[in-house]
Amino acid sequence: MDRLLIRGGKKLEGELRASGAKNSALKMLAAALLADGPVTISNVPHLRDITTMIELLGSLGVEVVIDEKMNVEIHANTIKSFKAPYDLVKTMRASFNVLGPMLAHYGQAEVSLPGGCAIGPRPVDQHLQGLAALGAIIEMNEGYVKATVNGRLQGAHILFDMCTVGGTEHIMMTATLAEGTTILENCAREPEIVDLANCLNAMGADVQGAGTGTITINGVPSLHGCAHRVIADRVETGTYLIAAAATGGRVKIRDANPEHLEALLSKLREAGAEITSGADWIELDMHDKRPKSVSLVTAPYPAFPTDLQAQIIALNCIAEGTGTIKETIFENRFMHVHEMNRMGARIRLEGNNTTAIVEGVPRLTGAPVMANDLRASVSLVIAGLVAEGDTVVDRIYHIDRGYEQVEEKLQNLGADIRRVASN
């Protein structure tokens, strides 16, 4: 199992290109199951989660062709099986989203209940309730969800009990082939949902209102192939901006959309960063200054994203002052705190472990640390970048799920970081 060895104390300076959004690409790979013709997705990041989804499609008999630039072409009409196996679905929640597209297109699907990061319960009840409202017959057996439908799914008026990104995407995809009109209310508004809707519309769907609380889908008899380019990964972009701010550095990120990161950019300015941006780039310059602590509450988009919470805590660890970070989205999402405290941070948890009070210290000290989930793992990398001495981050397979070539990108910005094999 690989580890990352980081020798801290170097400012991050330079330019890099934002990768494609993992959370867009994964859902588009699932949505390709709706089409009668080939769907080509470009700007797909080279990540373990993407590889898992491609393996899952392959296990169903779907032909997937990938070129050297990670353009992925999916031919759903070669499908031979409608059962997504536990061994693949257990490793990644997004793979559960093949259930609805298979059901809508082929009238049947059987998918294992999902796995993923250990950051608290993320049930799929909203997914299943939405599918049932569209006319799906749902059965649960030995950890699998079996869905069938008599004829075509039927449009419905669905109000989500909670603002769910995965549920919004799953039902939006599925409803494209339902007969009649489907109205989804209390929808999540993330940019990745808009990106998915644009991809579906390129396939011939009629999806309106994505990015707002109400989405209307007018069902069509069939969908055709298309070509679509994935938007930039806002969480990856935000992570490198935070890392540069924590080290007092300067970084420019190309192919990034500043409109998708307004909540973060506001907090980085508050921390003392100079931010400039254009239509497809963001530049941050700390002018060698130590950051100032920031306080925030995570909430659904467009508020501050939970997927950047751990990274901001890493910045607060060495900032001037004390910052309060309240997590409202997921349970168990402060697992990085113990590891950071081992490096000399002063963080205490309050409110039944929903709030982190971070008192900034002048410096952290390198130490062996262990990652527990995707975002916590990269926050420990940021802590290692600002620490004195060597930091070893173990269990980095979490990072490989969501960050493309993380050590190469950081090396290009001047970091002393390398991947080493465990003894």
Q: Would residue 117 show up in a list of annotated catalytic residues for this protein?
A: yes
Structure tokens at 276: 């400039």
In 3-state terms, what secondary structure has residue 375? helix
CA–CA separation, 23 and 87 (whole Å): 21
Contacts of 167 (CB under 8 A, 6+ apart): 124, 126, 127, 130, 160, 188
CA–CA separation, 290 and 126 (whole Å): 44
| Residue found under tokens 């000399």 | 344
Output the DSSP codes for 327-352. Answer: --S-SS--THHHHHHHTT-EEEEETT
Q: Which of 117, 163, 226, 317 is catalytic?
A: 117
Is residue 111 within 8 A of residue 99, CB to CB? The reply is yes
Longest Cα separation, the chain: 65
Query: What counts of helices (H) and strands (E) characterise the chain?
Result: 14, 26
| Whole-Å CA distances, 272 to 131, 268, 294 | 47, 7, 10
Structure tokens at 55: 């393996």
Report the candidate in 3, 410, 396, 389 with the shortest Cα–Cα distance to residue 239: 410
Contacts of 11 (CB under 8 A, 6+ apart): 244, 247, 248, 249, 250, 288, 414
Is residue 355 within 8 A of residue 325, CB to CB? The reply is yes
Residues recognised as catalytic: 117
